[in-house]
Structure formats: C-alpha cells, structure tokens
Chain A
Amino acid sequence: MSTIDPATGGKEPLIIARGLRKEYGDFTAVDGIDFQVNRGDSFGFLGPNGAGKSTTMRIIAATLTRSGGDISILGKDPEVRGPEIRAHLGVVPQQDNLDNSLTVEDNLYVYGRYFGLSRTFIRNKIEELLAFAQLEEKRGVKVEALSGGMKRRLTIARALVSEPEILMLDEPTTGLDPQARHILWDRLFRLKEQGVTLLITTHYMDEAEQLCDRLMVMDKGRIMAEDSPANLIKTYSTKEVLEVRFGSDRNAQFADQLRSMSDRIEVLPDRVLMYSDDCESLLHEIVSKGMQPTTSLVRRSSLEDVFLRLTGRSLVE
C-alpha cells in the first residue's frame, strides 16, 4: 500500500480506509466509511457533534480498535502495529492533556522522550517549537498558568516535537476566542505550506474552508460527501444565498410563496434561506410581489449550506 498510485496525483497514500466500522453495543458510531488521505493533504472531517469524526480519528491514531472493515496507516494495520504507527503521528486531542505541574519547556521535553528522541535533539527542537507557538517568554512557566489559547498552541507544538508524518487535530479551536483561533489558523497554515499532512476534525465551516484541501462531510457515522470545499459548494449549493427574515411567526407563512420563486429554500426558525445564482434579482422579485422582509442579506454559499442540503440539519445545533 506504500507504492505511489498515479490516481492520487503522484502522492503517496498514507491512510486508506475501506468499509471502516465502529460499534458500541447497539450504537454505530462509524458506519462503513471509505476514504484515503495522501501525503501532503490537508484533509478534514466536517460534521456535527456525534457524527463519528473523533471515533474515526482515534482509530487512525491506533488507540481504538475497529469493529469491522480495513484500515491501513503508513502501510500498517493499527491493531497489529500500533506503536509503530503512533511513532509517526502527532496528535492534538479535543481536550488538552498537558502536564499542568510541569513547565512549558518540560512538557515538550518529556513528550519528546516518549518518542525516544535524544536530549540534544529535543533541546534544539524546543527552541523552534517555542518560537512557532509564540511561547518563548513562557518557557519556564507552569502550564496551569497559561491561557486557553496558549495551552492549545503548546499542545500543537508538543505534537510536532517528533516531526510527525501526519498531524491529527481534533476540534483544534473549539472553546477559543476569535483572536486565539486566528493565531492558531496561522500556525496551522504554515505547517500546511511546509507540506505536513494535516488531518482535522471540526464543526466550524470557516475552519474547514481555511485549512482543508479536501473535506469529508460526516453525519451519523456515514460519509455524506467528499471533495474540496469549493467543489462541495459548487456541487451541493448555488453561488449565492439570500437570507430573508419576516419575523419568527411569519417566516413559515411566506414559505409557499417563496418556494415558487426558487428551486431550493430552507425554512429555519429565525429566517428563510433561498438558493440562487442571482440573489439580488430574487430579492427584487420578492419585494415586487409585495412581501416586505424585515431584514435581508445576500451572501455567497458556504459549507453550512452544503451541510444543510446533505443532512437537512444545521452544523451547530
């Protein structure tokens, strides 16, 4: 499986999953999914909480056994050769699990030792990683004193200490303020530019659009679609979206009339979404027919619209 397949654009496949399943009793968390991640890809799992993203990530991380199907990571089966696979992964879990009683620097050092790296190598690497994570001034500070954003950056830096072939990030910016998110995105974008293979789970569509070349949209353990963010939007949505509000009680009341004006509309509790390649004209038509929305907004389609189309539900509920 480590040979180069021309179908992947000359890129080496690092992860190949076929019919991957995970069941917990009667509950199916991952329901027979197929996917492939190639070297240098920035691959995202997009879906709401409970979609099966984190379970899939843990199977890839060789810390959770599968119930069925096949998966190969770096040409190896994670259930047979877990430590050998984990040696080449950098894992950023959903919740930071740093050692709070140690300093920033010691956290990086100790983690590097788990990969069997020499003291000299780790000491040099720590300088690079502290600069990357913008934590040089905090090197001697105990982790418990860091802010949420700093802890997140340190967790990412820690995952990079072993120069992993694949960096796995599970909901990397959940719980962070907008400024901390943007700093993190910048750091991750730099890694992407350097050709590090990124595997990201997120339920933030803006994060998925920013960081991922390819996206797998998941819901209830199944793959709903897979493509680049731009192609997903092109395939599953129109160029533009018109959001109109008539007031909570009246949105549904106008729905039938609005439906006749557009191929696709979505009636949400607080607004109606209308899909068209020319939403300005659509808005004029609505007004000309005597319907006066209290607010209106024309925007470009996003992954949220794709998700709504594929599942009938919003990403963040």
Chain B
Amino acid sequence: MSTTDFSRKGSLQIINVEKILRMGSFYVAQARIRNIWQWKWSVLGEAVANPMFYLLSIGIGIGKIVNSHQSVGVDGVKYLTFLAPALLAATCIQGAVGEATHPVLEGFKWAKGFFAMNATPITGEQIANGVLLGAMARVTFGCVIYYTALYSFGAVHGLHTLWLIPMTLFAANSFAVLMMGICAAIKNDDLFLNMVQRFLIMPLFLFSGTFYSLSSMPKFLQIIGWASPLWHATEVGRWISYGHHISHGALLFHFSYMTIMTIVGFKVSHHFFVKRLAK
C-alpha cells in the first residue's frame, strides 16, 4: 500500500481564478478536442470519404445528365460548380449540429460530465462555449478538407473561393449553437436526436436549394428554405464561388439572418446550460 504524501501548497496559493474566468471556454474546448481525438481515424475517414462520395455520385454522375440536357448548365455554370457551395455548407452544418448536440446529451444525461466540469470554477456559459468551440474545431478540419476536394475536382475556381470556408463555418456555427441550446432543454433524448435527423436535417438538406434552385419549387416548400441557414449559406456561397446574382439587400438579409440566429442561439444555450446545471 502506498505511503505517498502530497506536496501541498493549497488551492489558495496555486489557482488563479481570474485566468479561469477568462480562459474557461478554451479549457472545455481542449477537453472536447481531446475527446474527439479518440476517434481521429474515423474523423479523418469521414472528412475525406464524404466529399469523395458526394462529388463522384451527385456532382459528376448526376451532373453529367444535367449538363447534357441544359447547354448552359444550371444558373449559368456547370452543375458541379452550382452544387459545390451547397454541398460544402450542408456537410458543415450537419457536422456542426451533430458535434454540438450529441455531447450535450452525453454531458447532461448519459455520462453527466457537465456536472463534473461545473464542480470546478467553470461556469455553464463556459461549458456551452467550449462545446461549441470543440465542435467548430472539428468542422473547420472537415471544411478545409472538403474545400480542398472541391478545388481538386474543379468544382470551385480561384483563390477568392477561399472565402467559402469562413462563410460556411459562420453558417454552421449559427445553426449549431441554436440546436445546442434546444438540446440542453430536452429531456427525452432518444426521440430528440431521431426527430432532428429525420424531420429537421434531412428536409433542410432537400429543400434549401441544395440540388436545384429554390425558386423552382412550390411556394410552400420555399418557406422551408427561407428559414434554413443552409439556404442562406448556399446563396452567399454561390455568390462567392461564381458570382451568382444576389442584390445587396439580399446579401445583407442572409448575413443578418445568420447573425441573429447566432445571437439567439448563444442566449438560448447559455440560459438552458445554467438552468439545467442548477437543477
């Protein structure tokens, strides 16, 4: 049996509370990234395989059929070019929502790790921020790989298209933070994740002008697109990528929508994280 004694100065001597109040969100993000790192090969595999499969099957396969029937392609460009910003946005938004919601249910309900964090100086707000930062770190990695694949396949051209990366991340963040807040308020987790995937993520993917222009759909389905951050990200992405026509007012509207979603998302997340930790 060990007879180890502690070299003990005491927390009053060794802990700098001001530093934790400043840096706490990053400590949580570090922990999240360390956790994600456990699955590094799966993360890498998904980041590489996802764009490959989509670009080969839909972009090139379906694109060949579309281009053969329309001499000017879609929106005046090749189908692959039209599709690329939407695929990038869809993948990043889906990834961010998954990475920002699953750990929330795990932290509050399954493993209760958030309660362990909150037993330290880390606050509920910092936990929410840290989880989101961790999610966005993973999504940034995936986004860069996806963009590289798009570039390699000739789906985007020119260095100006690098702006797709921050814009897409901004859109992904805006939706993820709101979903994270809603997730923190949810009690029936099994049902919630299934509902999100089947009735939110999938319809958004299909009805946000991803595969064809939103204006070609019936009006009542266009409403889904207007509410969807994916449609806003896709519109701005196409403008960045190949100069898709958007008025200045529309551009302002797209960014305002995503900004408001981000602000509301943070408010909701902070509120429910603090409330649930205090129960």
* Chain A residues engaging chain B, CB cutoff 8 angstroms: 61, 63-65, 82-84, 86-89, 91, 93, 95, 97-102, 106, 110-111, 113-117, 121, 128, 131-132, 134, 160, 162-165, 183, 186, 190, 194, 196
Contact = CB atoms under 8 A, between A and B. Distances in A.
B138 to A, nearest CB: 15
B23 to A, nearest CB: 6
Given A63-B277, A83-B17, A165-B10, A114 B112 contact: no
Nearest to A101: B38
B119 A83 contact: no
B31 A110 contact: yes
B115 A97 contact: yes
Contact of A86 (B28, B111, B120): B120
B152 interface: no
Contact of B11 (A95, A131, A164, A190): A164
Contacts of A132: 2, 4, 6
A160 B112 contact: no
A98 B111 CA distance: 8
B100 interface: no
A98 B115 CA distance: 10
Contact of A83 (B21, B27, B35): B21
B111 A100 contact: yes
30 contacts: A63-B118, A63-B277, A83-B21, A83-B121, A84-B121, A86-B121, A87-B121, A91-B119, A95-B112, A97-B113, A99-B35, A99-B116, A100-B111, A101-B35, A102-B34, A102-B35, A102-B38, A106-B34, A110-B31, A114-B117, A115-B11, A115-B20, A115-B120, A116-B15, A116-B17, A117-B14, A131-B2, A132-B4, A160-B6, A163-B6
Contacts of B13: 163
Contacts of A64: 278
Interface string B89-130: 000000000000000000000011101111111110000000
B123 A82 contact: yes
A87 B17 contact: yes
Given A83-B17, A97-B115, A128-B6, 13 more contacts: A83-B21, A86-B120, A87-B121, A88-B15, A91-B119, A93-B116, A95-B112, A97-B113, A115-B11, A115-B20, A117-B15, A163-B6, A165-B11
A111 B120 contact: yes
A270 to B, nearest CB: 38
Interface in B5-32: 5-17, 19-21, 23-24, 27-28, 30-31
SS class of chain A's interface: helix, strand, loop or mixed? loop
B191 interface: no
Contact of A89 (B7, B16, B119): B119
Given A102-B38, A113-B31, A97 B10 contact: no
Contacts of A186: 1
A131 B10 CA distance: 19
A116 B278 contact: no
B122 to A, nearest CB: 5
A163 B9 contact: yes
A196 B6 CA distance: 11
- Please give me the 3 A-B residue pairs with the lowest Cβ-Cβ distance, nearest first: A114-B120, A91-B119, A83-B121
Interface of B: 1-2, 4-17, 19-21, 23-24, 27-28, 30-31, 34-35, 38, 111-113, 115-123, 277-278
Contacts of A102: 34-35, 38
A116 B23 contact: yes
A162 B14 contact: yes
Contacts of A91: 119
Nearest to B4: A131
Nearest to A24: B279
A134 B112 contact: no
Nearest to A65: B278
Contacts of B24: 114, 116
A115 B121 contact: yes
A268 B17 CA distance: 53
A183 B17 CA distance: 34
Nearest to B112: A97
Contacts of B20: 83, 87, 114-116
A87 B16 CA distance: 9
Nearest to B5: A194
A40 B24 CA distance: 30
A63 B276 CA distance: 11
B30 A88 contact: no
A111 B116 contact: yes
Name the residue in A95, A101, A121 with the highest tally of chain B Cβ atoms < 10 Å from its Cβ.
A101
Contacts of A194: 5-6, 8
Contacts of B6: 128, 132, 160, 163, 194
Contacts of B277: 63
A163 B14 CA distance: 8
Contacts of B11: 87-88, 115, 162-165
B82 to A, nearest CB: 41
A145 to B, nearest CB: 14
A164 B115 CA distance: 18
Contacts of A98: 116
B14 A63 contact: no
Contact of B15 (A100, A115, A183): A115
Nearest to A195: B8
Contacts of A63: 115, 118-119, 277-278
B118 to A, nearest CB: 6
